[in-house]
Structure 1
């Protein structure tokens, strides 16, 4: 594959691993994140540092963004030092932030007006998937741009599915987050029950992960819970943001999601108790 000039804005838990994969594949990557010290390892690995999103976007073929909240997405694209102020005509901008479908449509229209191509490409798989290059990507936007980007996506993703027009990737990610947030209740209640019954949960997991109860969360996060490892593959404060987006979108569609509303209320309680920077598996603390 021909080497591409890539800007990457937001090198957090997952973004840093994605940048490493892009560098290892021979691409020239310029990065921007709010705290430069946190990007030291990537810079040592060959990434170039930019002082603003605008600087990171100038003269790039592709610009990725992976930030925290919808307001952050708007800032890095449309702010005074944003991507849209410097990106070259025909560059492809790819937002991998889990964000609002309506915002994805807005960015698509804004990009088109200035000669850029925009797709929404939220991911699933957590820190493990990012490190292993096995992320699932949900793509919204023009199909021809998806096809052009697919070889790049395959560098760090394994399950790459085109979902439809702009915003469709974000809607698909909401489906993913709904299943994760509500499913984590089941994982934690299973562990709480098994421990209370005096079982060896390591043995229980050997049985139930291979059966009908099996899930990514049960296989990857339940063992962390048993080790009291609450480090984030995905932050509680971010899953709460995603649940709010999903509930707001559901309200617009006149759809009730009582399971998701319950999960959000439980995570809100943990956020108030100071667990916002822990991983979603910290929901186990609700039962202790």
Structure 2
């Protein structure tokens, strides 16, 4: 059976690796990125580079977007030169960005006016998961559409979860981000106290990584934090955005989330300090500052 043609919009830290894995899996690919320099690795491989999201849609069966936030998704999908203007029968859009269930339902409604099918399919697993093709992907939308594009998703992820109706993929992702954010807070607090108490950080890492406190944050981010490496695998400003969406949803459903609220405020402080483009692990710098530790 002929492989679906895939268009990929958004070649940031995650998107570039995800698109490259689609190419490696043998799917015909066309890419677009607002900053053209990020398309150069693809052009060097002979992969077509589109001039607009509209062109991506015209030349694809499936369009994937992986951009920063809901306004960016709206621009590439519904904007003046957006995907809707390249709509054709059978076109499927997969939004792999993280925003909110309400946004997912809105995009589905608007695209539906042009006969376009829509799935919300945010991911988790960080930059390492994107590079290795081991992401966890949470998908909301029509099951038959999900089944049609599943081989494409399997090129990017190891665990593919069909979550049900449109919006449920985003809901699962926000729940994931609550745990991710609070876990980072816990690691930063432990490391700050360890420094003040004179505990060897390697010993702390051994305890946390081999006992009940073990987590992806401990395994992947704590070694970076110990070395003072705060460059992004996932940007602090993006986690702040995700936690805000989680709290907005919780407020609407009257669910108290005090831990999430505290974590969001700490990331607000981190962004206010100009560290929003650093990795989420830069939260440690804030804790070191509050504790009077000078070399954080």
| Bin for the TM-score computed over the shorter chain | over 0.9
The 3-state SS of whatever aligns with 2:46 is coil
The answer for the alignment partner of 1:99 in structure 2 is 99
Q: Does 1:194 align with 2:203?
A: no
Residues 232, 280 of structure 2: 8 Å contact kept:
yes
CA distance, structure 1, for counterparts of residue 173 and residue 121 of structure 2: 9
Question: Structure 1, unaligned stretches of length 5 or more?
Answer: none
Normalised by the length of structure 1, the TM-score is 0.97
Higher mean C-alpha deviation, range 37-46 or range 270-279:
37-46
The answer for the alignment partner of 2:260 in structure 1 is 260
Deviation per CA, 1:72-108, whole angstroms, max 9, x where unpaired? 1111111110101102211111000001211111111
Deviation per CA, 1:242-268, whole angstroms, max 9, x where unpaired? 111111111111111111111111111
CA distance, structure 2, for counterparts of residue 189 and residue 226 of structure 1: 13
Residues 67, 97 of structure 1: 8 Å contact kept:
yes
Q: How far does residue 120 in structure 1 lie from its aligned partner after superposition?
A: 0.2
CA distance, structure 1, for counterparts of residue 46 and residue 278 of structure 2: 30
Residues 17, 130 of structure 1: 8 Å contact kept:
yes
CA distance, structure 2, for counterparts of residue 28 and residue 87 of structure 1: 18
The answer for the alignment partner of 1:174 in structure 2 is 174
Which consecutive aligned stretches of 4+ in structure 1 deviate over 3 angstroms post-superposition? Answer: none
- What's the Cα RMSD here? 1.2
CA distance, structure 2, for counterparts of residue 172 and residue 280 of structure 1: 20
Q: How far does residue 34 in structure 1 lie from its aligned partner after superposition?
A: 1.1
Normalised by the length of structure 2, the TM-score is 0.94
Q: How far does residue 202 in structure 1 lie from its aligned partner after superposition?
A: 2.1
Instruction: Indicate how the Cα distance of structure 1 residues 42 and 260 shifts in structure 2: closer, same or farther if over 3 A, else same.
Output: same
Q: Which runs of structure 2 are paired with 1:217-236 in the superposition (5 Å)?
A: 217-236=217-236
Residues 60, 87 of structure 1: 8 Å contact kept:
no
Q: Which runs of structure 2 are paired with 1:143-158 in the superposition (5 Å)?
A: 143-158=143-158
Residues 108, 118 of structure 2: 8 Å contact kept:
yes
Q: How far does residue 69 in structure 1 lie from its aligned partner after superposition?
A: 1.1
CA distance, structure 2, for counterparts of residue 102 and residue 34 of structure 1: 25
Aligned residues: 288
Residues 87, 114 of structure 2: 8 Å contact kept:
no
The answer for the alignment partner of 2:239 in structure 1 is 239
